[in-house]
Structure 1
Amino acid sequence: MSQVLDTPPPTDTGAPAPTGAPASAETPTETPAQLAARHGLTVSGARPSLGAYVRQLWARRHFITAFATAKLTAQYSQAKLGQIWQIANPLLNAAVYYFIFGVLMGTKHGVPDYVPFLVTGVFVWTFTQSSIMAGTRAISGSLGLVRALHFPRASLPVSYCLQQLQQLLFSMAALAVILLAFGVPVTLSWLLIVPALALQFVFNAGVAMVMARIGAKTPDISQLMPFVLRTWMYASGVMFSIDRILANRDLPYAVHLLLEYNPAALYIDLMRFALIDSFEGGQLPHHVWAVAVGWALLAGVGGFIYFWKAEETYGRG
């Protein structure tokens, strides 16, 4: 005779479940995000808000300055002439350009104070060129630092631009000697160097941050940039006067605008206007200071935001 055993149904005694017992299917559970928020946890390496990022960058200002100075000091540490190359390099470039463009191609004719004109253009252009090239490699060339330490990554392209500004200030001492040697007097307009360089620095830093983000994902861009920058240099009036070129050629109006309001050409002309008394205001585009400020704000603010948006991606992958 078979016997059927019935298991009695569980009875609810009203006693609480023991501690550590698994919750029933009907009991709601917290998501990982809710649990992290309740305990005040944040994602490691997450992008901060724009305001917080600016404050972090300002808090690292001493690091940025020290890093730029150290890079500048180490740049020619292996050379026998040492820091003399900081002045010799742009001077040698100016000498080559003078021979090729000034003598062989005759661009010096009709340009008063051509040597000061040329040297000023070379020095100021080198500031922009070197800042952008350094910015292109700012992240991809510093992956060890980026992966080892937590800091706002914008510190790197800004510090490289500051390094190039320090380099330019060394060159400006040689430029002053050249100006005086060619009879260019010291005038109050030399004070305009300060706002002109400040605007150019903001512009350079903004473009450097754009290139730093692109270079972080596409390192090969650093191989292309020398060709782009060389083309830009020829369109910036470093070796010749843009207004004389435009006056002697029947070019479309769009080309006139591109050449006159080219940001690199604007900052070069502002420095020439400040330093060389024969370079008059009539050779500058209309509203030149307003346009120079506009370029600085567009590149500086736009480049900073563009770089910040990818903050959490640098050094990964």
Structure 2
Amino acid sequence: MSQALHTPPSTAAVPAETPAQLAARFGLSVSGARPTLRAYVRQLWARRHFITAFATAKLTAQYSQAKLGQLWQVANPLLNAAVYYFIFGVLLGTKHGVPDYIPFLVTGVFIWTFTQSSIMAGTRAISGNLGLVRALHFPRAALPISFCLQQLQQLLFSMAALLVILLCFGVPVSLSWVLAIPALVLQFMFNAGMAMIMARMGAKTPDIAQLMPFLLRTWMYVSGVMWSIDKLTKNSDLPPAVMTALEINPAAVYIDLMRFALIDSFHASQLPHHVWPAATGWALLVGVGGFIYFWKAEETYGRG
């Protein structure tokens, strides 16, 4: 009896909980972990007000130090169009045989600038905002999307000037102008997808931002911004594969759609075959594909 009372307690060690077990017991999760795709979309939608407010604030601040202020939103693309008109329209003669060449050129410059600026802004969306990325928890796709929205807002300012130019050069108001709305929606989807692709690449390799201006300039020259692709393909001995590539070039597709919508002398016969399916296909392929590509690296942004 005495021996039983003095038996020392068992010293068998209780196994310690792993960090994962502790986190599960207290309801903790890994900071910055990638959510499911559906949850990620819900998070983005919940922050839609932040995305629009951030885009508007960036647009307002862009020219806040300039004397002319927000007038530069219209002046910049107009000056570019004037330079291109002198070099390509006058010196190189690309205006010959193109009806309403100035509206044709200005439309191409404005629509191309939307794509170019969206991609350039997307390239620096993560690498240029590391302080914000590391300080706050939010779906990182909000940044490239907000930059594309900023460029869309800037384009809408430019479109007001474009409509004035169309009227000044005798282009009549037409019901086809309504087609500009779906064309811009599809182009925005394409631009947002490209911006997200470049944002992920730029986050890993910031030096790519130095290469992009050269690639975009090359892309511009083959997109029919200053010259007519339809005129070239009808009077050229280019291989069929090259002509097809020029026609389905996404930048050229969206430029041609906008010209068809706004310019009365730009006829449907000048559009490539199946232009609306091509525009929709590019928007879905690059928009959805770019979003998924960006989401897959969500947990890596801002680290290292």
Identity of counterpart residues, as a percentage? Answer: 81
**Aligned-partner SS, 1:186:** coil
| 1:171 has 2:142 as partner | no
Deviations 1:27-72 (A, max 9, x none): 6654332332233221111111100000000001000000000000
Q: How does 1:231-246 map to 2 (within 5 A)?
A: 231-246=218-233
| 3-state SS of paired residue (1:92) | helix
Q: Secondary structure at the match of 1:278?
A: coil
Match of 1:79 in 2: 66
Q: Is residue 181 of structure 2 the alignment partner of residue 194 of structure 1? A: yes
Q: Is 1:267 matched with 2:254?
A: yes
Partner of 2:129: 142
Partner of 1:4: none
Letter in 1 for 2:99: P
Task: Give 5+ residue unaligned stretches, structure 1.
Answer: 1-9
Considering fraction of residues, name the structure with more helix.
2
Match of residue 32, structure 1, among 19, 33, 37:
19
Cα separation, 2, equivalents of 1:184 and 1:243: 20
| Aligned mates of 1:160, 1:12 — CA distance in 2 | 77
> Which residue in the other structure is 2:287 paired with?
300
1:159-199 CA-partner distances (Å, limit 9, x unpaired): 00000000000000000000000000001000001100000
The answer to whether residue 41 in structure 2 is matched with residue 54 in structure 1 is yes
For residues 13 and 242 of structure 1, the distance between their equivalents in structure 2, rounded to whole angstroms, comes to 99
Distance 1:39 1:269, change over 3 A: same
The SS at the match of 1:290 is helix
Query: Structure 2 matches for 1:217-228, cutoff 5 A?
Result: 217-228=204-215
Distance 1:30 1:121, change over 3 A: same
Work out which of the two has the higher radius of gyration on C-alpha atoms and give 1 or 2: 1
Q: Using the alignment, how far apart are the partners of 2:173 and 2:107 within structure 1?
A: 15
TM-score (ref. length: structure 2): 0.96
- Offset at residue 247 of structure 1 (A): 1.6
Following superposition, the deviation at residue 251 of structure 1 comes to 1.1
Amino acid at match of 1:168: L
In 2, Cα distance between equivalents of 1:101 and 1:53: 46
TM-score (norm 1): 0.92
2: distance between equivalents of 1:16 and 1:260?
A: 85
